[in-house]
Amino acid sequence: MSAPPSSAPPARFLILFDFDETIIGENSDHTAVRTLPDQRLPAWLTDSYREGQYNEHTQKILAYMADQGVSKETIHAAVEKIPPAPGVLELFQFLRSRRHDFELVVVSDANTYFIETWLQHAGVRDLFRKIFTNPGSFDDSGRLVLLPFHSHSCPRCPDNMCKQTILREYRACREKERGGMPFQRVFYVGDGANDVCPTQALGPLDTAFARRDFPMHKLLLEMQPSAKFKANMVPWVTGEDIVDCLRKVLEER
């Protein structure tokens, strides 16, 4: 399905999605590890992880997988088979029917290869205007090479990615491109601890959709009495919970 014509009015709402355990039902890095001959990492590699160095640690894992003979084709097939999170395809079907209202973006600490592969296979890549994630591509030796997305000064986030910085910069850039017209509301859909930081950039009209009983939900419950968190927080179990909320927003006009 082609993108809306340029003469169409700009979308009123911006909705940002995490990828692992939000769009898909599991962590894509864990999926990749299961393609190893013994389906797990050696203890020396697991124990080498350091707080805030997830991207660097994943680079080591991918190098190890190449050394163990895991091919691009094996990884590609495994990523395509990852199941979506509950109700997410129904959510995307709804957003496709209202694509003139919603602009969609992915903000993820996964990598371009995993995300592009999965979205293309699921038939929903065209829904997303932009994907913000760590660059990942196969080199001539057959190894998936991962690079950090950016550097930043946020003390709360991993060295390679601050999702709040991405959200703020994207929103400012799009407002300028839209002739000074801001989005009426911003929605953020996530599950993990690194999805909390971007919610600090949301205002009273915006909504943080936190997957119920996952780290993002638990952390936001703790933060809700604080003035730092200004948005609405809506827990979700299935993508259809998000559809219900978005329908109500559309009915408000």
Catalytic residue from among 18, 195, 206, 241? 18
pLDDT at 253: 61
pLDDT at 7: 56
The CATH number linked to 223 is 3.40.50.1000
pLDDT at 122: 98
Catalytic residue from among 20, 195, 206, 241? 20
101 counts as catalytic: no
In the chain, the amino acid numbered 207 is T
Please tell me whether residues 76 and 152 are part of one structural domain.
no
Tokens representing residue 132 in the block: 């913000």
CA distance 8 to 6: 5
Domain hosting 69: range is 30-80
pLDDT at 187: 98
CA distance 110 to 58: 9
Q: What pTM did the predictor assign?
A: 0.92
Q: Give, to the nearest 10 degrees, the angle between helix 112-122 and helix 72-80.
A: 50
Q: Does residue 47 have a known ligand-binding role? A: no
Q: Quick check: is 37 in a domain?
A: yes
pLDDT at 98: 96
pLDDT at 1: 44
Please tell me whether residues 19 and 35 are part of one structural domain.
no
20 counts as catalytic: yes
Q: Quick check: is 6 in a domain?
A: no
pLDDT at 208: 97
pLDDT at 5: 46
Number of structural domains, the chain?
2
Could you tell me which residues come within 8 angstroms of residue 184 by beta carbon, excluding any fewer than 6 positions away?
12, 13, 205
Q: Does residue 191 have a known ligand-binding role? A: yes
Please tell me whether residues 210 and 236 are part of one structural domain.
yes
Please tell me whether residues 178 and 74 are part of one structural domain.
no
Q: Quick check: is 177 in a domain?
A: yes
Q: Does residue 109 have a known ligand-binding role? A: yes
Please tell me whether residues 60 and 92 are part of one structural domain.
no
Q: Quick check: is 7 in a domain?
A: no
Please tell me whether residues 122 and 42 are part of one structural domain.
no
pLDDT tens track, the chain, 253 positions: 444 444 567 889 999 999 999 999 999 999 999 999 989 899 999 988 887 677 788 888 999 999 999 999 999 999 999 999 999 999 999 999 999 999 999 999 999 999 999 999 999 999 999 999 999 999 988 889 989 888 788 888 888 899 999 999 999 999 999 999 999 999 999 999 999 999 999 999 999 999 999 999 999 999 877 767 899 999 999 999 999 999 999 998 6
Please tell me whether residues 242 and 164 are part of one structural domain.
yes
Of the candidates 214, 251, 204, 205, the residue with the CA atom closest to the CA atom of residue 235: 214
Please tell me whether residues 164 and 60 are part of one structural domain.
no
